[in-house]
Structure 1
Amino acid sequence: MKRHDPPGERTRDGELVEMASHGGGRRARDAFRVLFDRHSSAVLRYAWGLAANRSDVDDLVQETFLVAWRRRSDIRVVAESALPWLLTTCRNASLNLNRARLRSEAHELVEEPHNGPASYRRRDHDEAQEQVKWVVAEIAALPDLDRRLCQLCLIEGRSYEEAAAFLDLTPASARKRIQRTRDRLRAARAADC
């Protein structure tokens, strides 16, 4: 890619990070915008699994990309993708948000002697965390191919076609495997309840 070409969807993450790291000019903003467009949906899905409530999801995504912009020269690209760094940043933002919420709820409990709304929110949060842990454990127990397929499609947000090509499967086979995995998870969840 020539130095003056605008970044596009074929530009690799490493190149986008490099372009974004050089100042705050238009080229840096354009590169960061492509990076955002490429990975924001995966970060959004990941944030859904981390968020204590729905209103936190957008906050986590915004915080993730705000940190990424501020620290764009520190973004590490792993296996030609900035997504692992972004997901780690999202997880850290979630931990920070949850710590702040716990401090706030502790303060509310000191001021309110009864078990009011804070206790309900905490219980909902604990239940959501348990569900995420359960899903992660169930996916970890899958055969290697199905686990890798879940990682690519359900966590990273890749299309069935992309995942199939990466894993040397047909797109129809990838769809069928994902559907069987979803059915297994539903059945296992129903058995646990």
Structure 2
Amino acid sequence: MGNNTDSEEGLWHQSLLGHGDAFGALYDLHRDRVFRHAHRLCGNHHEAEDIMAASFLELWRRRKQVRVVEGSVLPWLLVTTTNMSRNSARTALRYQRLLKALPRSGDLTDPTSDSYRSYQDNLDHDLAHALATLTPEDLHLVTLVVFEEYTIVAAATVLHLTPAAAKSRMHRARQRLRAALNGDASTNTPTAPTPVLEGERP
């Protein structure tokens, strides 16, 4: 999956010994991909930064229990980021309910008034909503296989599945995502333009 396997294994070994500099190098190595995944799930830049930070903190806190796959901690990080994002979404929902209960001023400036920003936000939120229709297990699988292009076998290893079970789950998850992105009423997704999933092939 990557050209940094040997160096990453060395950095991880040093991290297990408690060396913060080595862990910092791992952070630099994977932070962009972890951030992109967090943003893909929540559709919000600042929230994605918080989720990314929490995921790396969890990696450090639980480093003795982390499952390394193909010489990398990235698959574990991505699964953890998914879990953090789901927890964040539940917190955000409670926060949004509170905001809706507060009185609003009609004079406030709409931060999404820029047409391009509004269009991009719609794409991000449509994809986030579509991903939210998946079960946690299927979301982990889609993250690893579709977005990060790990093999089914590698993803199955991370998720403690057999390759056959992972392949079957992957097929059902793709069908559900397509239905959600195409505006299937049962998924309650917005009706903005359909985003293209990374890793999908015509």
TM-score, with length taken from structure 2:
0.49
Match of 1:33? 24
> What is the aligned counterpart of 2:50 among 54, 59, 65?
59
2:62 is aligned with 1:71: yes
Using a 3 Å threshold, how does the CA distance of structure 1 residues 10 and 94 change in structure 2: closer, same or farther?
closer
Q: Max radius of gyration: which structure?
A: 1
Mapped to 1, the partners of 2:95 and 2:149 lie a distance apart of 37
Q: Is the 8 A contact 1:20 1:31 kept in 2?
A: yes
**Residues 58 and 10 of structure 1: CA distance in aligned 2, closer, same or farther (over 3 Å):** same
Tell me the equivalent position of 1:43.
Answer: 34
Structure with greater helix percent: 1
- Provide, for residues 46-83 of structure 1, a one-character-per-residue CA deviation record: whole Å limited to 9, x for no partner: 11201242221211111111111111212110121111
Deviations 1:13-33 (A, max 9, x none): 44433321223xxxx112212
* Paired position in structure 2 for 1:16: 11
CA distance in 2, matches of 1:99, 1:132: 15
Given that 1:52 and 1:98 are in contact with CA atoms closer than 8 Å, whether structure 2 keeps it comes out as no
Q: Report % sequence identity.
A: 30
Residues 109-165 of structure 1: CA deviation (Å, up to 9, x unaligned): 4566xxxxxxxxxx968534246579xxxxx8xxxxxxx796449xxxxxxxxxxxx
Question: Does structure 1 residue 101 correspond to structure 2 residue 74?
Answer: no
**Counterparts of residues 141-160 of structure 1 (less than 5 Å):** 151-152=148-149
Change (3 A) 1:34 1:10: farther
Alignment CA distance shift 1:20-1:150 (3 Å): closer
After superposition, residues 160-179 of structure 1 pair within 5 angstroms as none
Code of the residue aligned with 2:13 in structure 1: it is E
CA distance in 2, matches of 1:128, 1:150: 12
Q: When the two structures are aligned, how many residues end up with a matched partner?
A: 128
SS of equivalent to 2:90: helix
Q: Is the 8 A contact 1:13 1:77 kept in 2?
A: no
Q: What's the C-alpha RMSD, in Å, of the aligned pairs?
A: 4.0
Cα displacement (A) at 1:10: 6.4
Letter of the aligned partner of 2:63 in structure 1?
R
SS, match of residue 67 in structure 2: coil
Residue in 2 that maps onto 1:88: 79
Task: Report the AA paired with residue 67 of structure 2.
Answer: R
> Compared with structure 1, are the counterparts of its residues 74 and 43 closer, same or farther at alpha carbon in structure 2 (3 Å cutoff)?
same
